[in-house]
Amino acid sequence: MRSMNIKTVLSLVVGASLSLASVALGYDAGAVDNGGSISGSITFAGDAPEAVPIEATKDAKVCAKTQKYDESLVVGGNKGIKNVVVSISNISGGKGFGEVMPLDQKECVYTPHIVLTPAGSELEILNNDGILHNIHTYSEANPAFNQAQPKFKKKLKKKFDQPEYVKVTCDAHSWMSGWIVVMDHPYYAVTDGEGKFSLGDVPAGEYEVKIWHETLGETMQKVTVEAGSDASLAVELSQS
Amino acid sequence: MARREVDDEKKSYSGVFLFAVGLLLIGSVWSVWDDAVSRRPWKKYQAEFSMIAYNKTLAEIQAEEERLAAEPVYQEALTTLESAQADIMGGEGGQRLATLQTALAAAEIRTSDAENALRVVRSEIEAAWYEYDHAIQLEHATKDEKAHLDALQAEAAEREKVFLAEQSERDRIENEINEINARVIEAQEMLRTMNQQKDFLEQRIDNYVMRPVPGLVLPAIPAITQVVVPEFDRSNFDTPLARVDRCQSCHVGIDKRGFEDQPNPHKTHPQYDVLMTNHPPELFGCTSCHNGQGVATSSVDIAHGYVQFWEHPLLLGPKMEANCLSCHSDMQTVATQNATVGQHIARGEKLFMQLGCTGCHLVEGYGEVKKIGPYLRRVAAKSDPAWMVEWVTNPQEFRPHTRMPHFFFTEDQGRAVTAYLMKASMEEGQAWLDAHAEPEGIDPNNAELVQKGARLVNSLGCRACHGFNAEQTATMVGQNKNHAPNLARVAEKTNARWLYHWIKNPRDYAPNTAMPDLRLSDEEAQAIVSYLLTLKTEIERPDMRSELEDPDLILEGEGLVRQYGCHGCHDIPGMEREARIGVELTSFGEKSLAELFFGNRTDVPHTWEDWTYEKVKAPRGYATERIAQLMPWFNLSDEDILAVRVFLKSQTGHHVPERFTAHGDWTDTIVKGQRLVQYYNCTGCHVIEGGGGDVRSLYLDNPALAPPILTGQGKKVQPEWFYGFLKQPIPIRPWLELRMPTFHFANDEASGLVDYFNALSKLEIPYNYFDPSRTAPDMVHAGEVLMSEDYFACFSCHQQGDQKPEGPPDGWAPDLGLAKERLNPEWIVEWIKDPQALMPGTKMPTFYPGGPDDIFAGDEDKQMVAMRDYIMLLGIDDPFASMNGNGSSGIAAATVQETSQDDTATLVEESAPSADDAREAENTEATETNM
């Protein structure tokens, strides 16, 4: 009798704290049965702009090993736009977070150009260039910082608590520019070189999908996901 | 019927007596009641407050009890105590303890007996010693005495043994008791600590109430609370008078935290931290800030001074700030540092100084404020006369937010004033024109040039002071006055020749102007003037030159200029000896209604406040047929008028004795410097003490491109360097397009500003040189290593004298070679520690925490100091050499030199210019010769 009581209390406590935690995060993570998916491509309206080469004016030994191009607007095959963030903006539960990529500073380029990181977790920032970089963030919801990463510090960890699109620059290498996208759920994706993306394991339902690009701005689309099938989404963005 | 004789003796007066006694009784009761209650209304408030405080404390005690009940540690301590006590009492421990305590009592007695016996023998020894010594002195035989003494000493040794044995037995028993009780004592101690807050509250509650019998709670007996501030006032015969305030007899909670949500008079003083903590009522009283009849207690109105003939009734609302200025002459700075207090008075004072009020009105303390209007001695070379007529007639029509007020001149009067100004400035204006040729390369029709000019005014920092279209605002004075002219229509008033030479060197035209020299190249000036010439509307103005040469008109104009006091704000030829035309306002705040002239106005309520509001709002409103009014219209918002009124209210002409004022060592320096900052609008670009930085709004996306923040500047830079920089600025931040202009400060202005920043940083000794003897070669070497490419790679961005970093200059950081002359050594460490804290948004990244582990075993503070030491010695070939020549001991000098040679060797190895080698060799030789 007594041991049962303890168990009951224990499960109540654990349950309560779990539900508290999920309230705090605003997102319930769990298994998704028979979910659908959203996939498609984001394309550019108008003529694809030519790639703008970057002149590495400093630390050329490292930074100019290979020719780099400006990544603020990259249009690839079939006019697909690279580096567009597609995310569901109204979702309160679904799959768990997958593996989180680190942000690498590789030959003075942020790789990937847009890194996605879950709110409240620590982002790994790597510097294997063997030179000084600094990570200067421009954010409002999260505290802005300007952290040096000297060559002896190959790995840094930074925590972002609030969902936000955070611009990152390096004051030592003025051409370096990237984005840290902080989300409180795992339903987001960055388009590939052909503008394609795919969001899997989406519970059936109606969603608002946000399409965000650093220079082309953002737009919202309504998408209905049915269980077990794929909802396709094609959006065209243009330079305003 | 016979008259009935009544015997007086038998007549009863008891009714009369009863009545009289009743009257006396009622009278007595009434007099006591009146004395104790009805004439002491404050008692009611005090009793109310006592009950409020009592209930509040009771609730706090309850909350504290609940907290303790829910506190596991507390409950555990309680249980521990109980169980420990039970263990002792219940088990063998209890019996043992009882036995021990009996034994202890016995042992105590034995110990003290033994001690006493020892003492007796010891005093006998004293006596025996005396006898023995005396015998020696008298040269008697000493045998007996010696024997007696020895016997006593032997006895003492014996008794001491006994005593020590008893004592240790007693201690043993005591220890055993403590051991048994250990858990109880520990738990009791713990509970005592945790009960502290509760005990405190329970003690406090007795201050508020009496509890004669359980269940009966009565408020504590009320008493007058009186503060005497000695020698605060002066009588009419200039003898010192004490200020007596009894305000806290009703406002009991005013100096107690925790009653913020109570209604008046029970409430805690608002803004407690600033207003109460810094102004304790026991030192300053209440009426020193609030006014009112502090000594009165007989009614609320009387105490607040709302009675006839009481000159200083309670100040309410923003006017409460009027008295701030009596003690804080640096109110501008105080209000910037504390954004929640004194905002009206500070704004009113600023408006008063910056709108030119001091040009016409003398106010003690503001006599030296600079004239704010443009220099008119050469205006004939600058302005189009037709434009000027329009401007003089109604300046706000041309520039809605100009500081120039509206004088309600008729157009004829406007023509007359212009005629005089043109005539008076003709000679000097012509001379100036002769010396300044028509510039070349200006073309308002060249779109490219105009665009370049437009870009330059945005990037150089002109926007900190000027707007370039009607919508752009820059630094404002009050709500709707521009600090510097909005240039939206500048091309209508002047010409290319004047503009070009003016922006190239403003002081060449107007020696006292606040407009700085931006060190423009000819090409830049040409582009900017080309752009400025496009800023106009299509209004065509006639050529009025000949019309304005009419001598009668000029004469009339001269009269008007003199009458309306234009010289109060402008430097005008022929008006050098004119005085201020307005009344002195030094004690305006004290003016009685009889002294205020309401003219024919019946709609204005007869109060000081309404009179003043109307005077500023509609300055000619009190004019009558016989009494003209000259004051111009400033077109201020009601909020600005309120601020000006608060300032005027503060002008009482009275002086608070020095010891009550907040006049510190720095105050005068701060006031003087602040006025310079205001005049030159330093805060248009820079944030100082958290205020200003208007131009930053253009750099919200990237604050690193905004002008540097100067809060804490006094701690940052060395005074000589700063002085030199203010006199002749050099670019320090190569990435900024903005340009620190040259203000051509006079010596006293530049040193006034340096002193100002030092005063704001409260620097006792501003000079802070770096002395190489404060460091050691290993520190410098570590600093060098830390800053090298392998570690922080500082020179990846920082310039170092002639050695420039890679890449374009906009990616560079300040020259560290300048640091030893420019920066305060202490500041460098603070800066390395957390650059973002000192200058939010800076390009300088944060390195700490996160220093390398292999230098000074990861001691980060030492690492920062090492870098500082290295920076401060940068560019000095052999910093430790001079120490050798200064007479330090030979060995020490040799060691130092040896290491320093090693150190320099590393330097040379890395930078490896051969010239350095040669110099190094020379230095060593020279030092050796010196030795």
| A3 pLDDT more than 50 | no
Least confident of A178-192, B295-309, B651-665, B911-925: B911-925
CA distance, residue B808 to nearest chain A CA (Å): 7
Confidence band, pLDDT 50/70/90 cuts, at residue A38: very high
Instruction: Say whether B846 and A171 touch across the interface (CB within 8 A).
Output: no
- Residue of chain B minimizing CA distance to A130: B790
- How many alpha carbons lie under 13 Å from residue A170 in its C-beta half-sphere? 28
Test B845 with A171 for CB contact under 8 angstroms: yes
Q: Please state the rounded mean pLDDT for residues B52-58.
A: 93
Q: What is the structure's pLDDT at A126?
A: 92
Is residue B886 within 8 angstroms of chain A, CB to CB? no
Residue B316, both tokens? 């309410």
Q: In Å, how far is A169's CA from the nearest CA of chain B?
A: 10
Distance CA B321, CA B470 (A): 35
Residue of A nearest to B702 (CA): A138
Query: Which of A57, A136, A148 is the closest to B847 by Cβ?
Result: A148
Using alpha carbons, list the distances in angstroms from residue A114 to A78, A94, A118, A134, A178: 21, 23, 13, 17, 6
pLDDT at A239 over 50: yes
pLDDT at A23 over 50: no
Instruction: Enumerate the residues of chain A whose CB falls inside 8 A of the CB of residue B797.
Output: 171-172
Q: What is the pLDDT of residues B272-330, one digit of tens each?
A: 988 999 999 999 999 999 999 999 998 999 999 999 888 889 998 899 999 999 999 99
What average pLDDT does the segment B556-565 reach? 95
What pLDDT is attached to residue B309? 83
Shortest CB distance from A172 goes to which of B790, B797, B842? Answer: B797
Q: What does the block give as tokens for B209?
A: 């109430």
Asked if A58 has any chain B CB less than 8 Å from its own CB, the reply is yes
Q: What average pLDDT score do residues B887-910 get?
A: 39
CA atoms within 13 A on the CB side of B88: 19
Q: Between B704, B789, B792, which is nearest A148 by CB?
A: B792
Measure in Å the smallest separation between the Cα of B776 and chain A Cα atoms.
26
Strongest mean pLDDT among A167-176, A193-202, B20-29: B20-29
Mutate which: B701, B705, B795, B796, vs A, most A CBs within 10 A: B796
CB of B853 less than 8 A from some CB of A: no
Query: In which band, very low, low, confident or very high, does the pLDDT at B930 lie, cut at 50, 70 and 90?
Result: very low
Most A CBs within 10 A among B700, B794, B843, B867, hence the mutation to make, goes to B843
A153/chain B closest Cα distance in angstroms: 8
Residue A51 confidence (pLDDT): 86
CA distance A81 to chain B (A): 25
Q: What is the pLDDT of residue B3?
A: 64
Contact indicator for B863, B782 with CB cutoff of 8 Å: yes
Sheet with strand A36-44: strands edge to edge: A196-202, A36-44, A230-237
Calpha distance B347→B336 (Å, rounded): 10
- pLDDT tens-digit profile of A71-90? 889 998 888 999 999 999 88
- Confidence tier at B213 by pLDDT (50, 70, 90): confident
Q: Which positions in chain A touch B806 (Cβ < 8 Å)?
A: 57-60
**pLDDT band, very low/low/confident/very high, at A18 (cuts 50, 70, 90):** very low
| Chain B contact present for A215, CB below 8 A | no
Q: What is the pLDDT of residue B212?
A: 87
The predicted pLDDT at position B810 comes to: 77
Question: What does the pLDDT average to over B27-41?
Answer: 87
Q: What pLDDT does residue A56 have?
A: 86
Burial zone of A169 (CB within 10 Å; 0-12 exposed, 13-18 middle, 19+ buried): buried
- The CATH class that applies to domain A28-237 reads mainly beta
pLDDT digits (tens, 9 = 90+) for B512-542: 899 999 999 999 999 999 999 999 998 889 9
Neighbour tally for B920: CB within 10 Å: 17
Confidence at residue B883, expressed as pLDDT on a 0 to 100 scale: 53
Instruction: Please compute the mean of the pLDDT values over residues B371-396 and round it to a whole number.
Output: 94
pLDDT value for A22: 39
Q: Any chain B CB within 8 A of the CB of A174?
A: yes
Q: What's the first-to-final CA gap in chain B, in angstroms?
A: 150
A122-127/A155-159 β-pairing: antiparallel
Would you say residue A95 has pLDDT above 90? no
Residue A24 pLDDT: 40
pLDDT at B897 over 60: no
A55/B contact by beta carbon, under 8 A: no
Mean pLDDT of chain B: 88
pLDDT at A182: 92
Q: What is the tens place of the pLDDT at every residue in B615-674?
A: 999 999 999 888 888 999 999 999 999 999 999 999 998 888 888 888 888 899 999 999
What does DSSP assign to residue B717?
A: B
Measure CA B786 to chain center.
38
Nearest neighbour of A134 by CB, restricted to B701, B807, B845? B845
Q: Is pLDDT of B101 > 70?
A: yes
CB-based contact A148 B835, cutoff 8 Å: no
- Across B227-247, average pLDDT: 91
Note whether B844 contacts A: Cβ–Cβ < 8 A: yes
CA dist B239 and B399 (Å) reads: 53
Chain A partners within 8 Å of B808 (Cβ): 57, 174
Contacts of B29 (CB under 8 A, 6+ apart): none
CB contact under 8 A, B845 and A147: yes
| Long-range pairs for B188-193: beta carbons < 8 A, 24 or more residues apart | B188/B81, B190/B73, B190/B77, B191/B74, B191/B77, B191/B78, B191/B81
Q: CATH number for the B772-930 domain, one of 1.10.12, 1.10.760, 3.30.70, 2.60.40? A: 1.10.760
Q: Could you report the per-residue pLDDT of B761-772, keeping only the tens digit for each? A: 988 888 878 888
First to last CA, chain A: 71
State what percent of residues in chain B have pLDDT above 70: 93
- Provide φ and ψ at A167, rounded to 5°: -80, 140
Delimit the domains of chain A by residue range. Answer: 1-27, 28-237
Residue B911 has pLDDT above 70, yes or no: no
Q: In the prediction, which pLDDT does B6 show?
A: 65
**Cα B123 to Cα A208: distance, rounded to the nearest angstrom:** 103
In chain B, residues with a C-beta closer than 8 Å to the C-beta of A105 are none
Quote the pLDDT of residue B820.
Answer: 87
CB of A64 within 8 Å of a chain B CB? The answer is no
Q: Quick one: average pLDDT of B677-701?
A: 90
- pLDDT 10s digits, B406-443: 999 999 999 999 999 999 999 999 999 999 999 999 99
B630 touches chain A (CB under 8 A): no
Question: Computed from CA positions of residues B122, B123, B125, B126, in that sequence, does the dihedral angle turn out positive or negative?
Answer: positive
Q: Can you give the pLDDT at residue B190?
A: 87
Per-residue pLDDT at B463 exceeds 60: yes
CA distance A152 to chain B (A): 6
Kindly state whether B790 is in contact with chain A, defined as any CB-CB distance less than 8 angstroms: yes
Domain boundaries, chain B: 36-221, 227-314, 379-568, 664-760, 772-930
Minimal Cα distance from B837: which residue of A? Answer: A145
Please check whether residue A54 is in contact with residue A175, taking contact to mean a CB–CB distance below 8 angstroms: yes
List, in sequence order, the alpha helices (H) in B539-685: 551-564, 608-617, 638-650, 667-680
User: With an 8 Å Cβ cutoff, is A59 touching chain B?
Assistant: yes
Q: Considering CB atoms only, which of B792, B807, B845 is closest to A57?
A: B807
